[in-house]
Amino acid sequence: MKRRLSIVVVLTLTALLTSCCCAVKPDGRQTVKIAYLPITHALAVLQEAQQLENAQGVRVELVKYGSWSELLDALNAGRVDGASVLIELAMKSKQQGIGLKAAALGHRDGNVLIVSNEIGSAADLKGKTFAIPHRQSSHYILLLDALAAAGLSADDVKITELAPTEMPSALASKQIDGYCVAEPFGAMGVSLGVGKVLFGSEELWKDSLCCALVFNDKFIETRPETAKEFVESYKTACSSLTKETAKQVAEKFLNQKDEVLDISLQWISYNDPEITEETYSALVDRVKKYGLSDEPPAYEDFVKSDF
C-alpha cells in the first residue's frame, strides 16, 4: 500500500513539474499556448505572437488546427491555454460545464453571405443548398437572419456543414448554391468569379460577434498575471492591425493570393475588441431564437473583462 501511494505521489509531482516547465522557457519568459485556425479572423492573435517574439515577459506558442472540432477538443481538454474560436462553440462548452472565459473579440464584421451569380436575393435561396462551417456559429445565425428578412426559415433551405476550404470549390461545381464562413474563403469565391456577396454581416446584424479570444479557467486562475499581460498585449495587437499590417500577417500565416486577401480585408475590422453586455445580449437573443441553445451562459459567468 505504501509503495502504491509513493508511486502516486511521484507521478503527481512529475505532472506538476512538467506543467511548470512547459509554462516557463529557459529564458524565464512565460509561455501561453494559443490554438487557432489559419483564417483572417485569427489575425489579432497571430499579430500578437509576432510582436512578442523578441519582447520580455510573455511568449506566445501558436498551435494550428485544421478544424473547429479539433481546436475545441484541445481547448476543452486543457491542452492549450486559450484559443481564437467561434464564440458560440465556447458558449456551448461553457453550458456543458467546461471552465472557459471569453476575454476579447477576435474581430468585428468580416463575415459575408456568398451566393452563386444566379441568385439575386435571399428569397431565391428557397429550395437551394447553403453551406456553413458549424451550426454553433455566427455564420448559421447570419443565414437565418437573411432568410427571416425574406420571410423564410431554415426549413426552406437545405443547410449542410462543410469544411471552409471546400466551400469555394463546392460553389464552383454547383454542389451548393451559397455559403457563409470565416474569411478568406468568402473572398476566394469572389476572386474565382464563382460567387458574389449577397449580404455583409453588418447589413444583417450590426456589431455581430463571431470569433473570440477564449481562455481555460485553469490558466486564468493559476497564472493571473500572465493572463493579464497576455490580454493587454492582445489589445495592443488589435489596435495595430491596419489593413496594411493585417495583410502582412496574413501573407505570412495564411498562404493566400494577394487578390483574395485584398478583398477579404475590406470587410473586417480589428478595432475595439471589448465584449460588451449589449452586444453579448444581442448574441444570446439570437442563440435562443434560432435554437442554438436554450440556456446560454450569462454575461457575468462567461465574459471576463477585468484582467
- SS3 of the chain: CHHHHHHHHHHHHHHHHHHHHHHECCCCCEEEEEEECCCHHHHHHHHHHHHCCCCCCEEEEEEECCCHHHHHHHHHHCCCCEEEEEHHHHHHHHHCCCCEEEEEECCEECCEEEEECCCCCHHHHCCCEEEECCCCCHHHHHHHHHHHHCCCCHHHCEEEECCHHHHHHHHHCCCCCEEECCCCHHHHHHHHCCEEEEEEHHHHCCCCCCEEEEEEHHHHHHCHHHHHHHHHHHHHHHHCCCHHHHHHHHHHHCCCCHHHHHHHCCCEECCCCCCCHHHHHHHHHHHHHCCCCCCCCCHHHHECCCC
pLDDT for 97 beyond 70: yes
pLDDT for 12 beyond 60: no
Half-sphere exposure of 243 (CA within 13 A, CB side): 10
pLDDT at residue 213, rounded to an integer: 98
Question: How confident is the model over 222-245, as a mean pLDDT?
Answer: 95
189 pLDDT band, cuts 50/70/90, is very high
Phi first, then psi: give them for residue 125, nearest 5 degrees: -80, -10
305 pLDDT band, cuts 50/70/90, is confident
Pairing of strands 112-116, 158-161: unpaired
pLDDT at residue 212, rounded to an integer: 97
Question: How confident is the model over 3-11, as a mean pLDDT?
Answer: 42
Q: Output the nine-digit C-alpha cell for 175.
A: 454542389
Question: How confident is the model over 20-33, as a mean pLDDT?
Answer: 66
pLDDT for 23 beyond 70: no
Question: How confident is the model over 175-198, as a mean pLDDT?
Answer: 97
27 pLDDT band, cuts 50/70/90, is low
pLDDT for 56 beyond 80: no
| Pair 125, 157: CB distance under 8 Å | yes
pLDDT for 208 beyond 80: yes
Percent above pLDDT 70 for the chain: 91
What does the pLDDT look like over 103-116, one tens digit per residue? 999 998 999 999 99
Question: How confident is the model over 126-139, as a mean pLDDT?
Answer: 97
Pairing of strands 158-161, 129-132: parallel
All domains of the chain in start order, with CATH: 15-109+210-302 (3.40.190.10), 112-204 (3.40.190.10)
Strand 112-116's sheet: what is its strand order?
Answer: 158-161, 129-132, 178-180, 112-116, 195-200
Question: How confident is the model over 241-263, as a mean pLDDT?
Answer: 95
